[in-house]
Amino acid sequence: MFAKLEDVEKKFEDLTRQISDPAVASDQQRYRKLAKERAGLSELVEAYRRYKRVSSDIEGARQIVESESDEEMKKMARDELAHLELQKTAVENELKKLLLPRDPNDEKNILLEIRAGTGGEEAALFAADLFRMYSRYAERHGWKTEILDHSETGLGGTKEMIALISGEKVFSDLKYESGVHRVQRVPKTEASGRIHTSAVTVAVLPEAEDIDIAIEEKDLRVDVFRASGPGGQGVNRTDSAVRLTHIPTGMVVQCQDERSQHKNKARALKILKSRLLDVERQKQDAERTATRRSMVGSGDRSEKIRTYNFPQNRMTDHRIGLTIHNLSAILDGELDEMISSLRTHYQTEMLSKSQTGELCK
């Protein structure tokens, strides 16, 4: 482990020298690439340097214990040594986690796709609630949320919502949100007060960059049509809506939220690239070989990863058995406890596999 850490520190120092070179600074694309690579190593290098400092302090305290004749000084050194040993253990554990294989998409922005599943209008209403939950969470973290496409119901629910969330390590935080979210509550549409169970699917895709996915014009079919809407003055009377078909895969994306055909095409292309990147990512990832459809399932209630139970004011994540009795706060974007627990769970699993050698198979 420590030989690898020495190599990482040398690489970090080399990257630091490179980005200080005026020739590199004048090449913005290269500079951004090197700066991003350096930033990805900084947390690990900082922890390793802390480990080396603590190890050096431990050695100094041991020498005092062994050589000092004054008993009071020896006692102070022993106390300091015990404190430093605890620090060393904590930094060692941190280093082990930081050395786990990193998801190359952790630094990326995301495309958040929310769709109403089983449950009709109630599912659509809860889909709107989930989008608000993630929007509030994004606000709390200083991230930007941009709606790319939105299909509403007559009662203000959401059939489908696609949004771009931009910020620092967005995918790292939200990548565990993909799956079926089940809600149990009395719907606004239910006169008799019976509790209904509905489902919403959530997919979190890393935003594709131009260097990730290149799409040739010959592989695209572009169709334009008139945008649809609930009626009134908001209905677009020009052919500004755009449908893109990726011919090699048959993947179809359409956008109609903007009044500009050019803007709708740009948004649809962004969504298409991210979906294609996700398909490619799943092919390359041995632990996530399922297709994009299986990532969120069919939207059936039985395929849930999480349940939001309104009568009992609780949220339960079924993957890790976590239950939190503060549903209103969660739906207002207070997701840190849940996301931190999910991250710890999956990091612990990976750490266990790395120690048994499974990650090397």
Q: What is the DSSP string of 58-120?
A: HHHHHHHHHH---HHHHHHHHHHHHHHHHHHHHHHHHHHHHTSPPPTTTTS-EEEEEEE-TTH
Number of Cβ within 10 Å of residue 99's Cβ equals 17
Q: What CA–CA distance (Å, rounded) separates 84 from 89? A: 9
Residues near 63 by Cβ (< 8 Å), separated by ≥ 6?
Answer: none
Q: What is the DSSP string of 320-354?
A: TTEEES-HHHHHTT--HHHHHHHHHHHHHHHHHHH
Q: Where among 51, 72, 98 does a domain terminate?
A: 98
Q: Where among 98, 131, 146 does a domain terminate?
A: 98
At 318, which CATH number?
3.30.70.1660
288 within domain boundaries: no
The partner residues of 254 in beta bridges, in order of sequence, read: 243
356 within domain boundaries: no
Q: Where among 78, 98, 118 does a domain terminate?
A: 98
Q: What domain range is 60 assigned to?
A: 2-98
Domain count within the chain? 3
Q: Where are the beta strands (DSSP E) in the chain?
A: 110-116, 144-152, 158-166, 179-185, 196-206, 220-225, 241-246, 251-255, 304-309, 314-317, 322-324
Q: What CA–CA distance (Å, rounded) separates 249 from 272? A: 11
Chain position carrying tokens 């059939």: 159
For residue 45 the two structure tokens come to: 């290098």
Same domain, 204 and 308: yes
Same domain, 83 and 118: no
Which helix H or strand E contains 268, and what residues bound it?
helix 261-284
Number of Cβ within 10 Å of residue 26's Cβ equals 9
Q: What CA–CA distance (Å, rounded) separates 244 from 31? A: 34
Q: For residue 6, give Cα distances in angstroms to 51, 52, 106.
A: 12, 11, 24
Percent of residues, the chain, with pLDDT higher than 70: 86
Pairing of strands 241-246, 220-225: antiparallel
The two most distant CA atoms of the chain are separated, in Å, by 92
Which pLDDT tens digit goes with each residue over 67-80?
Answer: 888 888 889 989 99
Q: Can you give the pLDDT at residue 211?
A: 56
Residues near 194 by Cβ (< 8 Å), separated by ≥ 6?
Answer: 186
Which pLDDT tens digit goes with each residue over 124-134?
Answer: 999 999 999 99
Q: Can you give the pLDDT at residue 359?
A: 43
Same domain, 162 and 61: no
Chain position carrying tokens 């998409």: 105
Q: What strands, in cross-sheet order, belong to the sheet with 251-255?
A: 220-225, 241-246, 251-255
Same domain, 304 and 261: no
277 within domain boundaries: yes
358 within domain boundaries: no
287 within domain boundaries: no
Give pLDDT tens digits along the chain (361 positions): 677 888 889 999 999 999 999 988 888 888 888 988 888 889 889 999 999 999 999 999 999 988 888 888 889 989 999 999 999 998 988 887 777 767 778 888 999 999 999 888 999 999 999 999 999 999 999 999 999 888 888 888 999 999 999 998 899 999 999 999 999 998 876 667 788 999 999 999 988 775 567 788 888 898 888 776 554 444 455 678 889 999 888 999 988 877 788 888 888 888 888 888 888 777 755 443 343 444 455 445 456 899 999 999 999 999 999 999 999 999 999 999 999 899 888 877 777 766 555 443 4
Q: Can you give the pLDDT at residue 143?
A: 96
15 within domain boundaries: yes
Chain position carrying tokens 């359409």: 254
Same domain, 175 and 233: no
Same domain, 189 and 248: no
Same domain, 310 and 252: no
Q: Are 328 and 130 in contact (CB under 8 A)?
A: no
Q: What CA–CA distance (Å, rounded) separates 37 from 256? A: 37
Same domain, 130 and 203: yes
Measured torsion, CA atoms of residues 297, 300, 304, 307, in degrees rounded to the nearest 10: 140
53 within domain boundaries: yes
Q: Can you give the pLDDT at residue 291?
A: 36
Same domain, 203 and 228: no
Q: Can you give the pLDDT at residue 82?
A: 93
Q: What strands, in cross-sheet order, belong to the sheet with 144-152?
A: 144-152, 158-166, 110-116, 196-206, 179-185, 304-309, 314-317, 322-324
Which pLDDT tens digit goes with each residue over 217-266?
Answer: 888 898 888 776 554 444 455 678 889 999 888 999 988 877 788 888 88
Q: What CA–CA distance (Å, rounded) separates 177 from 149? A: 20
Same domain, 74 and 14: yes
Same domain, 18 and 93: yes
Same domain, 126 and 207: yes
104 within domain boundaries: no
Number of Cβ within 10 Å of residue 316's Cβ equals 19
Q: What CA–CA distance (Å, rounded) separates 65 from 76? A: 9
